[in-house]
Structure 1
Amino acid sequence: MTLLLDDAAVRAGFDWNLAVSALREAYAGAADNARYPARGMARGDHGWLRTLSGIPANDGLMGAKQIAVSLKDARGAFLINLFDQVTARLVALLDGRSVTGYRTAATSALAADLLSAPGPLDVAVIGSGFEAKNHVRAVAAVRELKTVRVYSPRAESRARFAAELADLATPIQSADSPGVAVGDASLVICAARSHDESPTLHGDWLRPGTTVVSIGSTLPEQREVDTTVIALSDVIIADVVDEVVDDTGDFIASRAAGLEVADRVGALADLVAGRHLGRTSAEQIVLYKSVGSALQDLAVAAMCVRNAERLGLGTRIPDFVVPKGK
């Protein structure tokens, strides 16, 4: 039987702690880059189709996420397929929309936990939407939060952000400007881009010892942090090093400004596996930059499938994709 998980079932079966644990295990065994090839992109007159595929090193479920986007009305659909590595049997099909948001935040939480100094965190969040809320919940699952300060341009959005996170045992404060939000934060989460793609986080606002998480600029035309943030970062950790350094607007702008980052950039897989030291002093400014990857999608999707099976969620249908021999 093949398990089908729509978005409601994915949400019902999701768990932040299990997601971070699944990602930690996946990254610890991710040294073989051939397991996760570069993402593919097909472009047409009316839309585009992106594919991210991979095979985990722990003999877990292999598969792919596909993102289909209509250019006519800017609508998109996300589909994840998971196969058994040994039998090639189709195990599950998932709506990948929520998985995409969850995996980004859970991976950020993993990185923030490893890169932040020990102790409770004072968190600043730039942005108040889906990704911003997910990031606070994800970090709260792995670290104690002392305070959370949120900035977004509209006061009503900040109020809604605080109301929707009221179940967390953490004071959530509204800031009238991003600089005020960042203030004395030990962890800064950037989860929103400006409409004109000007940076929303400036390095002049950061104090020594800050950890920065940047997830909102993944394409050459997008900006989220200014060049000063990158110049001040003693350590930079990327989920996909070549894509972060070569293909994101923040690093393209830094290169144009004459900044060299090669000796400061390390891979998240190396950090998780202990091959990269990460932060080595309490005073360092550390940046984690994410563009997303198939490893993240597949690790979290497989976790959702395991939890859905345990909880009796989803719909089971007879196998309709049957592996064939030669």
Structure 2
Amino acid sequence: MSATVTEPGGNPGRDPGGVPGKRPGTERVTAPGYRPGRTLPLRVEAVRQLKRRRTLVMAGVMGLLPFVLLIAFAVAGSPESRSGRVTLMDTATASGANFAATCLFVSAGFLLVIPVALFCGDTVASEASWSSLRYLLAAPVPRARLLWSKLAVALGLSAAAMVLLPLVGLVVGSMAYGWGPLHIPTGGVMPAGTAAQRLVIVVAYIFVSQLVTAALAFWLSTKTDAPLGAVGGAVGLTIVGNVLDAVTALGSWRDFLPAHWQFAWADAIQPRMEWGGMIQGSAVSVTYALVLFALAFRGFARKDVVS
């Protein structure tokens, strides 16, 4: 038994089959109780992704990095400044807060790009590579609903990876070097409570700045059946952006590169926090991300899915 849904401007009718009162193209036949918004719940998609091996491996990498840095400092000794210039790395062993900030400093440029590209680039492309994408759409799961569910879970996992790294770093650093104020490289100290709040802002900004990589990987995931191609393409283009940002001859054109603002969060760990750089960086990142997300949804809505 089927139910009919009248489209805007159409006349209500009965089940298709040449019944009087029905105009072709004015009705959409659905199953009783079918609700498009209830298909592929976020909980189901999140459980599926959490059980995958690459999620567990990435969580292990994020959790082990602070221990790797701790061993490196234990073997090589406390970092020392060079040429009289003190950096965040030089104060890594001053306190747990400094150690957590150092973990973010050494990973924000490249390491944190990996989980974002992996989680967002392996969404739709992995379903296509398993030949299960067409079965999801035939369930039926609306295409926009499928993309929204997968994108929300991918961004959630990316955010979790970014939170896990400094959180483990803060715990490990506090156990090794003690819980204390954040020693600012330019001079002065910041109370531990204030430092923890600033680190939350830093993580939030890093997440926003990585939206470009997430959107790029997600868009590529809707264009290819090869997850490695989507992930590798996003990582490769991110590296190209970093290379272009290093070309000083570009001058003010670098302001339009997301990579140019990736370390603007350093303004958050100053005695007086500056928002200018982070606001500009967020604006550039969100603008690129919205365009790429729109391209992904528009392209996938018209795509002939055969995988």
TM interval, shorter chain, is under 0.3
Bigger RCO of structures 1 and 2 (CA < 8 A, at least 6 apart)? 1
More strand by share: 1
Tell me the TM-score normalized by structure 2: 0.27
Tell me the TM-score normalized by structure 1: 0.26
More helix by share: 2
Structure having the higher Rg: 2
